Chains A and B, each alone.
Chain A
Amino acid sequence: MTPPPPADRAASQPVPDRALDLGLREVIGGEQPPDLRDAVVDGLRWDSFDGTSDRKDGTLPAPRSSNRWLAAAVVMLGLGAVIAVLATRGEDAAGTNQTNQPAPRADRTAQDPVALEAHDPDPMSRALEVRDLAHFHELVGAIEAIEFIPWKATFANAVHDYIRARPDDHEWERDPATLARWMRDLTASTDRAPHPRRLQDHRCLARLWLNDPGTDEGRYVLVGLTPDTPLAVARYGTVDLPTELATEWGQKAIALARAGRLGRGLVYSGSELLHLDVEIREVTARGLGDADMRDLVPFRKLARLDLSACGDVTQEGIRLLCDALAERRDARNGWGSITDLILPDGIRLGAPSLPRFSDLGPLHRVRCAGAVFAAESVVHAESRVFPGSLRSLDLSAARLTEPWLRALLRGLQIQELVLDGTEGLDPSAVLTIAAQQKLTSLSLRNCSSLTGTDLGPLAALPLTRLDSSGVTLTPTSLRAVCGIASLESLGVVGCGLGEGAVDELLRADSLQELRIGPGPADVGRLTALRHLRRLELHLPHGRTAADLSEILDAFRTQLPRCEVVLRSAW
């Protein structure tokens, strides 16, 4: 899936251009309006009994807008058994809850478990009405995971369809890995967790562990939670549970997420750091500044710190954090153990003095996207910038010179290096890279300053992945690259490959994945690469899949296990 051009751009365009932009997204980009007919009809049906007239006691806190939620809040799955819960304790409580419940669908009586069971075609399903919140709480052993999904009119349908399309076995009731995968799939359109203040606009898709009453066993269920609407769990249909219950659980889920008890925290300001659990292991921050860095110190188990969207954090702020952590560690052994660090995008590193990154902990991965490395003189000839534990360094779009690269890599044995789109490197950088004798993954995409550079020195490395797309390769370089015996993945898109390139590529017999194009013309011969599992062909300008039918046929017949992907077809 390819991202459309940013929507915000439209606002600043002249009128016709804005119109054309949106039109082209549909005509060419394939953006299509959704089919909302079912959702509207469903909404009307709910309208007919959402029932302000039935709620004369006013107990249902249902402003008009939340009725909409109610309508769509028919969520999803539960598995093998419709969830649900016990109807036992307290007729009084039951009575109270019933008044809080939305009216049931006409064809399904949630208040009547017998009726529901009869409706459900699955004999495994059981439905018990929730009449006692306290008892329900006893059933729930733990909220194990929560994902947030922006509210969508079609959400309920999407979830329902997704679950119904899954194989009809019940193993996932006890398989958190499957559920985790489903949650990821279902929330794939969400690129980040919502701002805590906007959680009201989101649904929670939560994985709960329910204890089976009277036994030591239990099962996982996925439930939809919202802070102000009924919780609904269903396998083949929908069971509506009391608003009060959903409200409480929705709020609890949000509180858990805010408190970071799930091991992750997302903060938008320094003050929000105060609400996170000190045991938190990951923090993703937006909008922090240098002054907030010291507030990260209490998180003694912090392992991953993402500051990529904290444009106000400078080198000075990082240095403050390093110093504070070092100080705390002196006082309490074991304090501070960050392994993954994502520095603010575009951070400027150099004068007057670099932070002592080793004070942050045993860093394994560091990302400095778009960083500007200035003032080489601040890097002392013998000093090491990053701790020796570092294994992966991402310098995408950074601006740095070869002496800086040498300084950054000094004393390290890294395994993964990303230099995509860097500026300022010269050919001698290849020798610096080649000195990393344990390097297994190298990405040089669009590293234009290395165009035409001899990549021969890289041949001595134990590389399994190399992507030099966008960097023109000389025949000598290609020969050297293809001679790497361990190479499993190679990207040579836009590398200006000419005649004879395929002959060289055929020498890389261990290749499992290849991205190539445009050209050369005889790519069909690549079927001789017997281990190839994925071939991504970038078509020359004006060529279409039809022009490549012979090549595709050749792969289909001679290398059927190889997935062939065509790009740029027009």
Chain B
Amino acid sequence: VREWVGRHQGSVWRYLRFLGADPDVASDLTQDAFLAALRAGAIERADPSAAALLRLSARHRYLSLLRQRHRRPSHQDLDEGEAAWQWFAGQRGDGIDGALDRLRSCVATLDPRQQHALHRIYREGATHRELGTDLQLQPEGVKALLRRIRARLRACMERRNPTDHDTASTSS
């Protein structure tokens, strides 16, 4: 069981994060989803089938939680979360771990200034204003910088090989 849980837990937790759950809630619901799936004998299933069942269970539990908390679940939000998951983890069939590896490679292709901006925001929690001060940019400049970074990462993620610098389609 431990090995099976270890194999799937990251994927379920991240899926819940994509749906909009905060990290603590995602942890709780992931555990619940595993318990339910184990009771249902999901451990006997093939991995892809078990993963799908776990995600389905996790999604239902997240919806229930939102209802319990008197928050009207927005299906549009959930659908967007689902679409984001598919875009990110379903592009190449290499799963969430493969997607994260590709994203790492893509980040490495950014120029140092762009990497610095991402680091300040995601690692250090800097606001746009602080980033602007840091890079001596106006707010519009910060927004433009982040827009360019996202566009590059999107294009890179959609390319077959992240280290390929050729211009690629940026369709989403």
Contact = CB atoms under 8 A, between A and B. Distances in A.
Interface string B107-128: 1000011011011111111000
A118 interface: no
Given A22-B17, A37-B9, A154 B27 contact: yes
Given A16-B154, A33-B10, A27 B22 contact: no
A375 to B, nearest CB: 27
A19 B116 contact: no
A23 B120 contact: no
A28 B118 contact: yes
B39 A47 contact: yes
Contact of A494 (B38, B87, B134): B134
Given A23-B99, A494-B134, A568-B124, A152 B24 contact: yes
Contact of B84 (A5, A19, A44, A153): A19
Interface of B: 1-2, 5-6, 9-10, 13-14, 17-18, 20, 22-24, 26-28, 30-32, 34-35, 38-39, 69, 74, 77, 80-81, 83-85, 87-88, 99-100, 103-104, 107, 112-113, 115-116, 118-125, 129-130, 133-135, 150, 153-154, 157, 172
A542 interface: yes
14 contacts: A4-B125, A11-B74, A16-B150, A16-B157, A20-B157, A23-B100, A24-B103, A25-B122, A28-B119, A68-B31, A153-B32, A568-B119, A570-B112, A570-B115
B125 A153 contact: no
A470 interface: yes
B125 A27 contact: no
Contacts, number: 158
Contact of B20 (A11, A153, A541): A11
A90 interface: no
Given A28-B123, A541-B112, A541-B116, A10 B104 contact: no
Contacts of A170: none
B28 A153 contact: yes
B133 A494 contact: yes
B31 A27 contact: no
Nearest to B74: A11
A14 interface: yes
A201 B22 CA distance: 15
A31 interface: yes
Contacts of B24: 150, 152, 189
A34 interface: yes
A470 B38 CA distance: 55
Counting from the closest, the 6 A-B pairs by CB-CB distance are A2-B125, A19-B88, A33-B13, A19-B84, A29-B122, A153-B31
Given A10-B20, A15-B84, A19-B88, A37 B35 contact: no
- The CB with the most chain B CB atoms within 10 A, among A20, A31, A568, is that of A20
A186 to B, nearest CB: 14
B125 A5 contact: yes
A20 B154 contact: yes
A39 interface: yes
Nearest to B170: A16
B35 A36 contact: no
A563 to B, nearest CB: 18
Contact of B9 (A14, A15, A35, A570): A35
A151 interface: yes
Given A18-B84, A152-B27, A567-B124, A27 B100 contact: yes
A24 B30 CA distance: 21
A212 interface: no
A311 interface: no
Contacts of A570: 112, 115-116, 119
Contacts of B107: 24, 27-28
A2 B121 CA distance: 10
Contacts of B69: 198, 201
Given A11-B77, A28-B118, A36-B27, A16 B133 contact: no
Q: Max chain A CB contacts within 10 Å: which of B38, B69, B84, B120? A: B84
A408 B95 CA distance: 59
Instruction: Identify the interface centre among A4, A29, A153, A201: most chain B CB within 10 Å of its CB.
Output: A153
A153 B27 contact: yes
B150 A17 contact: yes
A446 B164 CA distance: 41
Nearest to B155: A16
A7 interface: yes
Contacts of B103: 20, 23-24, 27
A43 interface: yes
A11 B124 CA distance: 22
Interface string A446-479: 1000000000000000000000001000000000
Contact of B22 (A7, A19, A37, A541): A7
Contacts of A2: 123-125
Nearest to B78: A11
Interface string A555-570: 0000000000001101
Contacts of A10: 20, 81
A43 B123 contact: no
A3 interface: yes
Contacts of B153: 20
Nearest to A190: B24
Given A16-B84, A26-B14, A494-B134, 12 more contacts: A4-B122, A11-B80, A22-B84, A33-B10, A33-B13, A68-B31, A151-B28, A152-B24, A153-B31, A153-B32, A446-B130, A541-B116
